[in-house]
Structure formats: structure tokens, C-alpha cells
Amino acid sequence: MNMELSRRTFLKTSGAGIAGTTLGAFGFSEAEAAVAAAVKPFRLVNTTETRNTCTYCSVACGIILYSKGDLRKGEKANIVHIEGDADHPTNRGTLCPKGAALLDIVKSETRLTRPMLRKAGSDRFEPISWDAALDKIARAMKDDRDANFIPTNEAGVTVNRWLTAGFLAASATTNETAFATYKVVRATGILAFDNQARV
């Protein structure tokens, strides 16, 4: 058993301790033990709390992720519950019908779990390794860019653009991912670059 006490566990344990002492003094110890045995353990006991933001709209409600295991200790972490963050000034703990069901998008049966390739003319995806997929992408970019890069326009002005490739970025990623994406895409000369801001 993980002996590290979360804030919630600590409060619960100390509260129960006081109640137990008092009840014991009045001679209710057996009854209390029977009740305790019948009560389902609080499911967030021994979970790690992590502050996060709802992934849907831009109201950006504060949420708390509860996981078994702690990423910061290098452990695998399995999220078991998500709820609104009562400290957050905008949502003050509330969530909408989408936010309240966030756990089910994290755990969706249609989450992707490994790289896949659909070959030309095929009617199915088949697995491919990360290395093979990334090598294939880089090779395709290099070959297409070298074949179609436009260094100058008809007037001889340096334009350095690559028009046969395009990139749609994701408006649900972080600023940090977006900036890394920006740097890579712009460095190639791609101009067909967009995100959901236009829809």
C-alpha cells in the first residue's frame, strides 16, 4: 500500500481518528467498526491530484485530475476521476455536460494507441513502427520539397515557398506545442498553414 498521504486522505484519516476516539469513549467502538466495514472506501483515497484545464471550449474551466500513480515520481499514472476545480475564478468548480464527462474522452475506446499506415488502394490500416513512420514522413517531405520548392517568382524576386504541402495545426494543443509546430512548418516554406481559428 502506498503510505504517502494525500491532503484528502490525511483529513479523512485524522477526522475518523477523532470520531473513533469519541465513539470509543461512549462504548460504540463495535458499532463504528461494523459501519466502517460496510462503507465502500472513498475512491479518491491514495490518488494524485493534478491541476489541468478542460480541453473543450475557451471558457477554460479549471479541473482536477485524480490518478493512481504519480508522474512526478516517475510512476505510471492512471486517471480515475476528473472534477471541476473549486479554486478556479471562472468556473468555481462547475462543469458543463461535456466537462463532466471528460474522463470518458481520456478513456475513449477510439483513442489511437499505435502508428498505422494505410497503403495506396488498401481498404485497411496496418501497424507501422514509429521509426518507420517518421522516416517515411521525412523522406516524403524532403523529396516533395526538393521537387516543388519555388525559390523565385517570375519577376525574379526571392520567394522561397513550398506550395505542394500543407499543414493544419490543432487549436487544442498548448502554446508550447504550437510554437514548436510553428518553427518546423515555417522553416520548410509551407504557406498552406492553418488552424481551427478559421472555422
Partner 1 sequence: MTNSWTDIKNTDLAIIMGGNAAEAHPCGFKWVTEAKANRGAKLIVVDPRYNRSAAVADYYAPIRQGTDIAFLLGVINQCIINDKVLWDYVKPFTNATFVVKEGFEYHDGLFTGYDEEKRDYDRSTWDYQIGDDGYAVVDETLANPRCVWNLLKEHVAAYTPEVVERICGTPKDKFLKVAEMIGECSAPNKIMTSMYALGWTQHSKGAQNIRCMAMLQLILGNIGMRGGGVNALRGHSNIQGLTDLGLLSNLIPGYLNIPKDSEPDFATYMSTRGFKPLRPNQMSYWQNYRKFFVSFMKSMFGNAATAENEWAYNYLPKLDVPQYDILLAFERMKQGKMNLYFCQGFNPLQAFPNKAKLAEALAKLKLLVIMDPLETETARFWENHGDFNQADPASIQTEVIQLPTTCFAEDEGALVNSGRWLQWHWAGGSPPGEAQHDSWIMAQIFLRLRDLYRKEGGAFPDPIVNLNWAYQDPGEPTPAELAREMNGSALVDVFDPNDPTKRLLEGGKQLSGFGQLRDDGTTASGCWLFTGSFTEAGNMMARRDNSDPGDTGAYLNWAFAWPANRRILYNRASCDLDGKPWDPSRKLIEWNGQKWTGYDVPDIAPTANPREVGPFIMNPEGTGRLFARTMMREGPFPVHYEPFESAVANVIAPKVRGNPAARVFADDWKQFADIGDPAFPYAGTTYRLTEHFHYWTKNNHVNSVLQPEQFVEISEELAKEKGIELGGWVRVWSKRGSLFAKAVVTKRIKPMTIDGKTVHVVGVPIHWGFVGAARKGFPANVLTPFVGDANIQTPEYKAFMVNIEPSTGPVA
Residue 52's contacts (CB-CB under 8 Å, 6 or more residues apart) are 62, 63, 64, 65
Smallest distance, partner 1 to C-beta of residue 35, A: 32
Q: Which is nearer to partner 1, 25 or 112 (CB)?
A: 112
Residue 153 within binding range of partner 1, rule CB under 8 A? yes
Q: What is the DSSP letter of 194?
A: E
**Stretch of 3-11, 12-20, 23-31, 181-189 contacting partner 1, by CB under 8 A:** 181-189
Residue 4 within binding range of partner 1, rule CB under 8 A? no
Range 123-152, binding partner 1 (CB under 8 A): 123, 125, 128, 130, 133-142, 144-146, 148-149, 151
Q: Which residues of 55-68 are buried (b: 16+ CB within 10 A; e: fewer)?
A: eeeeeebbbbbbbb
Range 5-34, binding partner 1 (CB under 8 A): none
Number of residues that bind partner 1 (CB under 8 A): 121
How many residues make up the chain in this entry? 199
- For β-strands 62-68 and 78-84, DSSP reports them as antiparallel
Q: Which is nearer to partner 1, 23 or 159 (CB)?
A: 159
48 strand-pairing partners = 67
Range 52-111, binding partner 1 (CB under 8 A): 52-62, 65-67, 69, 71, 76-79, 82, 87-91, 94-102, 104-106, 108-111
Smallest distance, partner 1 to C-beta of residue 51, A: 6
Smallest distance, partner 1 to C-beta of residue 74, A: 11
Q: Which is nearer to partner 1, 11 or 105 (CB)?
A: 105
Smallest distance, partner 1 to C-beta of residue 100, A: 8
Residues 63 and 85 sit within 8 Å (Cβ to Cβ):
yes
The C-alpha atoms of residue 47 and residue 93 are separated, in whole angstroms, by: 19
Residue 155 within binding range of partner 1, rule CB under 8 A? yes
Q: Which amino acid is at 85?
A: D
Q: Which is nearer to partner 1, 40 or 111 (CB)?
A: 111
Residue 164 within binding range of partner 1, rule CB under 8 A? yes
- Using CB atoms within 10 A of its CB, is residue 183 exposed (0-12), middle (13-18) or buried (19+)? exposed
C-alpha angle with apex 195: 192 to 197, nearest 5 degrees? 125
